[in-house]
Amino acid sequence: MSSYVKIPSNLKPSDPQGSDLLAQERATVTFDVKELTLFLFGKKNLDRYHEILRIVENDPAFDKTNVYFMGRNELFKHAMKKEKRLAQLIKENKWKVEDIQFAEWLLDTPGPFGVHRGMFIPTLISQGTEVQKKEFLVPALKYKILGCYAQTELGHGSNVQGLETTATYISEADEFEIHSPYLTASKWWIGGLGKIANHAVVMAQLKSNGKPYGPHLFVVQIRDMETHQPLPGITIGDIGPKFGFNSTDNGFILFDRVRIPRSNMLSKFSQIKKGTGEYINPPNDKLLYGTMILVRAIIISGVRFALERAVTIAIRYSAIRRQFVDKEEPKKLKDGRVVETIILDYTMQQYRLFPVIAQAYACFFTAKVMIDQYAEYTKQSSVGNYSLLTDLHASSSGLKSLTTTMAVDSIEECRRACGGHGYSSFSGFVKFYQNYLPNTTWEGDNFVLTQQTARHLFKTFRKMVLSKGAEAYPSQSERNQTMAYILQYLNDPNHTCTATTHLDFKNPELQLRAFGHRAAYLIANAVDQIDNHKSTWNSMLVEINRISRAHCQYLLVRNFINALQNSRQSEDEGLHMLRDNPSLKEVMLTICNLFVLHTMEKDLGDFMECGYLTPSQARLLRAQIYNLLKEIRPNAVGLVDAFLIPDFLLQSAIGRYDGKVYETMIDWASKEPLNGITLDVNPDSDVLFRNETDNKTKAKL
């Protein structure tokens, strides 16, 4: 796209140049950045990354140059173009799910086919019979059928049992009647529904012979395959603009007694018998929970990538941006001239940004553990052993809540740490933040979710207290990490922190004990409130949220510490690398310590309230955190470079790998379509744009 404003070509930013500053930063790194990248991705994924980046980066259909200037219609068109081209590439290159995930990550444009691929097809696979797969899945895979997943309603989100759409079996016709009895029954927020889908998997209250059987899934054709118009009895629309995701057609749909064949009820697990309308029960509901755990592991992995992206921009920009001369420690150029201090040298900036690097690594290790645990659970459940399920489900609920909230907060912290320029779309933060935001709400609202975590913890705790002394429960084989910290607490509820110098806070046993003790203390208190003081569940919700947070922080801390400790023995490709690379191991240890201690400091009140930390220990803890910031400082740019977030994804003038911050800001600004318009500024004139028609053409791009 061409510029509307000619920028004088003789001007450069004042010295020192961004590229030189980044080169200096890269020279101080104490470890091999490429090795760390390899550790993070693994050989196979790194090859995949490069291969897919090569393909998508230069494809004109995926050109992102004008995205920041697009209104809703243009943006949606841009997304459709991307979806169509992506569908072709998937076919041409025979991409698998993992390849598509990489491509979607790089393309960074949530589009109308996303739910078709991510929800509609997987639901048909997991819930459909073989006959149903032939009818719906086969054409869906070829994009002959385009589907969406219609669960949430205008009036109901979290409470799936409360959905109002009905599916009533009409035995005479052997059909279901899909109906929206109220306005609030309108399906709402359904990705792909607003404009694209011609089929929907609809979650509706099954009724047969006047009896309710709760929410079930039905395949409903919603638009004509030729005209693409809604079928009779069906009202569809896009739900309008949103904070982000405006490249997707989240839609609504109302059904006015729409009939579908009985065979359209997804029937792998439950069904209605022809004629009699008899309901056949699902064998067990555990399978559903298994999938939820996997989805949450993927979300937590997504947290890692989101944090990496945000902190890459903020760290690089902070290494270039200079502001104020630090009078006590003035920076000088080689020629002796005093220059302003780069903002990354200010401890406040380090305190704001370095913990975000650490959070990204923490999520990396926890996502890894979750995926391993899911694999182990899948193995065990295939032979009928579901014992891992409840703890996994509870922990994954709380972890999804904790980490996605952390991600949103940290992205915004990184953005604000970039000052005024962080507010420009060109920073790369704006669209990114807007699109990331729904993670706090979807797949379980972050506040509602924590109740599932706490409920399980209370049960575990009660069971363990009852069996205390005998230690019958848990037996050695049943014992999991949750029980380990509860047991430790029950054996020594008055345990206190043993630290006497700030160095003691680097001790991983002390760190784990701190998080375990605090979580167990909160659980013990809440159980006491409920069991002995008749507190209602509702009256305990604030405490419940604290407990889930405490438990999941323990898990993040434990998984990080364990990974580093186990690297000595592990067969795991990545951990193996850590063992053989002392400089890498050292920097990881520092990062781990910062994550643990910064997390502790943020909730310092908890650690003191439970009697674990004294006021003077709190001061030692802070001192240790400030030391860690100093240790990390020379590696800051290296650590974010290692994340290997490509410029194609960042789309950031201020976070670019080459450091050309200011040149890019002004170059992109010159392309703003509003710059092609001349105004009539006279307040008494009704004319606003003098050359409006001109602009319409130009703005079309």
Rounded least distance, CB 134 to a copy of itself, Å: 21
Between 271 and 397, CB nearer to a copy of itself:
397
Between 42 and 237, CB nearer to a copy of itself:
237
**Distance between CA atoms of residues 697 and 625, nearest Å:** 56
- Compute the Cα dihedral for 172, 173, 178, 182 and give only its sign: negative
Rounded least distance, CB 13 to a copy of itself, Å: 4
Which parts are annotated binding residues?
Answer: 152, 191
> What are the structure tokens assigned to 559, written together?
């998984």
User: Which residue, chain included where needed, has tokens 């900036």?
Assistant: 349
8 Å CB contact between 255 and 218: no
User: Which residue, chain included where needed, has tokens 């792909």?
Assistant: 192
Nearest to 307 by CA among 410, 205, 204, 441: 410
Rounded least distance, CB 645 to a copy of itself, Å: 21
**Distance between CA atoms of residues 646 and 652, nearest Å:** 10
- Prior bond of 355 cis (ω within 30°): no
Rounded least distance, CB 121 to a copy of itself, Å: 14
Q: How far is CA 598 from CA 214, 641, 668, in A?
A: 45, 23, 37
Rounded least distance, CB 517 to a copy of itself, Å: 13
8 Å CB contact between 262 and 272: yes
**What secondary structure does DSSP assign to 490-511, as a single string?**
HH-TT------SGGGGG-HHHH
Q: Containing H/E element for 213?
A: strand 211-221
Between 611 and 634, CB nearer to a copy of itself:
611
**Distance between CA atoms of residues 372 and 294, nearest Å:** 10
Chain centroid, CA 470 distance in Å: 43
* Active-site residue, from 153, 443, 478, 601: 443
Between 69 and 386, CB nearer to a copy of itself:
69
Between 196 and 300, CB nearer to a copy of itself:
196
Rounded least distance, CB 532 to a copy of itself, Å: 15
- Compute the Cα dihedral for 628, 629, 635, 641 and give only its sign: positive
Between 73 and 382, CB nearer to a copy of itself:
73
User: Which residue, chain included where needed, has tokens 């992206």?
Assistant: 309
443 among known catalytic residues: yes
**Distance between CA atoms of residues 447 and 397, nearest Å:** 10
Using CA atoms in the order 463, 468, 471, 476, what is the torsion angle rounded to 10 degrees? 50
Between 158 and 387, CB nearer to a copy of itself:
158
- Compute the Cα dihedral for 562, 302, 626, 656 and give only its sign: positive
**Distance between CA atoms of residues 311 and 317, nearest Å:** 10
Q: What is the DSSP letter of 28?
A: T
- Prior bond of 474 cis (ω within 30°): yes
8 Å CB contact between 200 and 149: yes
**Distance between CA atoms of residues 291 and 149, nearest Å:** 16
Which residues touch 17 (CB under 8 Å, ≥6 apart)?
659
Between 219 and 563, CB nearer to a copy of itself:
219
**Distance between CA atoms of residues 321 and 631, nearest Å:** 21
Q: What is the DSSP letter of 618?
A: H
Rounded least distance, CB 590 to a copy of itself, Å: 18
Rounded least distance, CB 24 to a copy of itself, Å: 18
Which parts are annotated binding residues for FAD?
Answer: 152, 191
Q: Would strands 147-150 and 199-208 be described as parallel, antiparallel, or unpaired?
A: parallel
Nearest to 406 by CA among 358, 449, 374: 358
Rounded least distance, CB 315 to a copy of itself, Å: 16
Catalytic residues: 443
